[in-house]
Structure 1
Amino acid sequence: MKIAFLADPLSSFKTYKDSTYAMMVEAAKRGHTVYAFEQKDMALDSGVVYANAAEITITGDSHDWYRAAPAQETNLGEFDAIIQRKDPPFDMEYIYGTYLLELAEKQGAKVFNKPSAIRDHNEKLSIAQFSQFTSPTLVTADEARIRAFQKHHGDIILKPLDGMGGAGVFRVTADGMNLGSIIETLTYNGARTIMVQRYIPEIVKGDKRILVIAGKPVPYSLARIPQNGEVRGNLAAGGVGVAQPLTERDYEIANTLGPILAARGLLLVGLDVIGDCLTEVNVTSPTCFQEITQQTGFQVAAMFIDAVEAAVQAQ
């Protein structure tokens, strides 16, 4: 197959941990031809979506890890599969990219995850569809509501709806210290909607990333454990990742959400779970493939490419 990856610049990849790199290596190992392009490389011309895509050869060298042939303008419908791996920020450029990919689907392109499904699933707000698994949650820009929520629950977490990697996450304890300043900062003085949740003490044991591929969970999560007094377990915020078998509750959450999300066109999802509570549904570019494989031996990238091959054959 010809598999194209819409990703960030290849030169920015940290190959020892990058999940997109693991996908590319597995695809190439199976004899698939791997291509790469960036969002800025796409164009709509006379009703057809093109991209300046380069064929990629994986060298096996951790530093100089790829060779790229000269990019060629290619109708996206000519690829057997397009893997959407562009990282947030989920801004208007990102949304424009999903529109172009959606048009490419009408040309015959098979895009994973489905562009409209990515657009429809805000990674924070999507948990509201599965409230049986969540901690008490408030979404608002209203200061009075936030203050009332904090007074009722005492210990809370506040975060933006468009953040990633733990950016902009604040904890306020029962004394309410700095609550007003944090509300002003996150809501832009009431102009921006944010999420507020009751603090989940089990965060000290890790923020678990559960990968769900084609509706089925990978049997291990990566618990991202906060360090040095941090409340954030995100690897980007200094958390340490520890792979561990899924718990009974993890399976309950993953097996409930998995088939629903897969039916919506989300081939790969990263569920974030703290304790027994679902906190996020990651659909843009879920990570942790390599950490789980390195610590457990379970071949996450192989499971993913299996799912891509099966999805292409089924369409």
Structure 2
Amino acid sequence: MVYFSVDTEVTIQQRLPIIGSVLINRYPYMTIRLAIVMDDITAINVKKDSTLAMFAAAQQKGWELFYIQQPDLYLEQGLAKAIAQPITNISYNADDYCQLGEPSKITLSELDVVLMRKDPPFDNEYIYSTYILEAAEREGTLIVNRPSSLRDCNEKIFATQFPQCCPPVLVSRNNDLLKAFYLEHRDVIFKPLDGMGGTAIFRVKAGDPNLSVILETLTQYGSQSIMAQRFIPEITQGDKRILMVDGKPVDYALARVPAEGETRGNLAAGGSGVPQPLTERDRWICQQVAPTLREKGLLFVGLDVIGDYLTEINVTSPTCIRELDDAYNLDIAGQLMQSIEQQLKNN
């Protein structure tokens, strides 16, 4: 369970949780104030949660930390504010993984950095949150990732900016165009543009009698655009998640291998994670997208690669930190905090 406490007098000095072999929260003086906007922290999977790893890495550096939920962001007289809770004593102990202090109102410009880690759906409320975070950005707070890019870079469509990396792909709500794409490629993936975790993804093979009803359902009878991609057989070897920190790839990917009888490799859809080194093709794809990521202020991003093809670029709340850390004794969240620290120095 999570303990809610404001007893910070003793927690920093007397209670020193261990993550792996690393002693965290060792510094009594915190020089950077960081907040993370995320979903309910009491409902996370402690063994796998990437945002918890970010909190732990920031705590390792001795930073002052705050937890914010999306509904607690607000604008008042043009100032970006939030109801925030101090968070301390972060560990990977499932029964006692953090302590939350009393909530209080803060102005986001009082913080050095805010990480936006709210999971999709990417709905109007998400967009409104980016407006609030953008107001804080104008006041000098570093927002990771940049709010305007969170709005602009749809995780499916963004990948199409790099056609040299992608399989044949179509974005449309016109059923005639979608059917023509299907007839050309004969084995196609159809998916919504705002989904996550493998939800509502359909594979349609040649001669499938359900084509029309699938398109009607996904496009809501032509009122909503979707994506069509040529099916990539190499999905059987996994849908690789490649993490990028300030345009630089982590040297290893987590291949999410579909369960037997499944097309989707997403862990949420029953896939299993297989850590593996990046291939030369993986690194080439990373090189193709890196300059654009830096230009758009996308400091932490997850590329999805199947076989030789880039299929998505995840900018909202990429995961798989913990799995790769555990497999290769990495500290990916620590790399991210170093990049954030450098960004703050540069600004």
Note whether the superposition's TM-score is higher than 0.5: yes
Cα deviations across residues 92-118 of structure 1 (Å, max 9, x unaligned)? Answer: 000000011001111221101000011
1:303 and 1:255 map into 2 onto residues whose CA distance is 19
Q: Does 1:156 align with 2:188?
A: yes
Structure 1 length normalisation: TM-score?
Answer: 0.98
Match of 1:206 among 214, 238, 250: 238
1:63 and 1:85 map into 2 onto residues whose CA distance is 23
Structure 2 length normalisation: TM-score?
Answer: 0.89
Q: Does 1:30 align with 2:38?
A: no
Quote the offset at 1:59 in angstroms. Answer: 4.5
Unaligned runs of 5+ in 1: none
Quote the offset at 1:198 in angstroms. Answer: 0.5
Indicate the residue corresponding to 1:259 in structure 2.
291
Greater Cα offset, 217-226 or 61-70: 61-70
- Partner of 1:158, secondary structure, is strand
Percentage of identical aligned residues: 47
Quote the offset at 1:232 in angstroms. Answer: 0.3
Contact kept? 2:37, 2:116, Cα under 8 Å: yes
Q: Please give the residue correspondences for 1:9-48 in structure 2 after superposition, counting only pairs within 5 Å.
A: 9-48=40-79
Q: Does 1:289 align with 2:321?
A: yes
Match of 1:272 among 301, 304, 310: 304
Quote the offset at 1:132 in angstroms. Answer: 0.5
Match of 1:231 among 263, 274, 277: 263
1:292 and 1:260 map into 2 onto residues whose CA distance is 25
- Partner of 2:333, secondary structure, is helix
Indicate the residue corresponding to 2:105 in structure 1.
73
Amino acid at match of 1:74: I
Indicate the residue corresponding to 2:137 in structure 1.
105
Quote the offset at 1:145 in angstroms. Answer: 1.1
- Partner of 1:183, secondary structure, is helix
Amino acid at match of 1:29: Q
Quote the offset at 1:306 in angstroms. Answer: 1.0
Match of 1:49 among 69, 73, 80: 80
Quote the offset at 1:63 in angstroms. Answer: 2.2
Amino acid at match of 2:173: A
Quote the offset at 1:304 in angstroms. Answer: 1.1
Amino acid at match of 2:52: Y
Contact kept? 2:56, 2:90, Cα under 8 Å: no
Indicate the residue corresponding to 2:19 in structure 1.
none
1:299 and 1:259 map into 2 onto residues whose CA distance is 23
Quote the offset at 1:300 in angstroms. Answer: 1.0
Contact kept? 2:265, 2:272, Cα under 8 Å: yes
Contact kept? 2:55, 2:90, Cα under 8 Å: no
1:240 and 1:292 map into 2 onto residues whose CA distance is 13
1:215 and 1:246 map into 2 onto residues whose CA distance is 15
Amino acid at match of 2:78: G
Q: Does 1:114 align with 2:146?
A: yes
Indicate the residue corresponding to 2:279 in structure 1.
247
Greater Cα offset, 89-98 or 56-65: 56-65
Contact kept? 1:216, 1:259, Cα under 8 Å: no
Q: Please give the residue correspondences for 1:131-150 in structure 2 after superposition, counting only pairs within 5 Å.
A: 131-150=163-182
2:250 and 2:40 map into 1 onto residues whose CA distance is 28
2:195 and 2:292 map into 1 onto residues whose CA distance is 24
1:170 and 1:202 map into 2 onto residues whose CA distance is 17
Greater Cα offset, 168-177 or 85-94: 168-177
Indicate the residue corresponding to 1:6 in structure 2.
37
Contact kept? 1:150, 1:176, Cα under 8 Å: no
Indicate the residue corresponding to 2:118 in structure 1.
86
Amino acid at match of 2:42: S
Unaligned runs of 5+ in 2: 1-31
- Partner of 1:184, secondary structure, is helix
Contact kept? 1:158, 1:169, Cα under 8 Å: yes
- Partner of 1:278, secondary structure, is strand
Quote the offset at 1:86 in angstroms. Answer: 0.6
Amino acid at match of 2:72: D
1:46 and 1:163 map into 2 onto residues whose CA distance is 34
Contact kept? 1:217, 1:254, Cα under 8 Å: yes
Amino acid at match of 1:145: L
Q: Which has the larger radius of gyration?
A: 2
Contact kept? 1:56, 1:66, Cα under 8 Å: yes
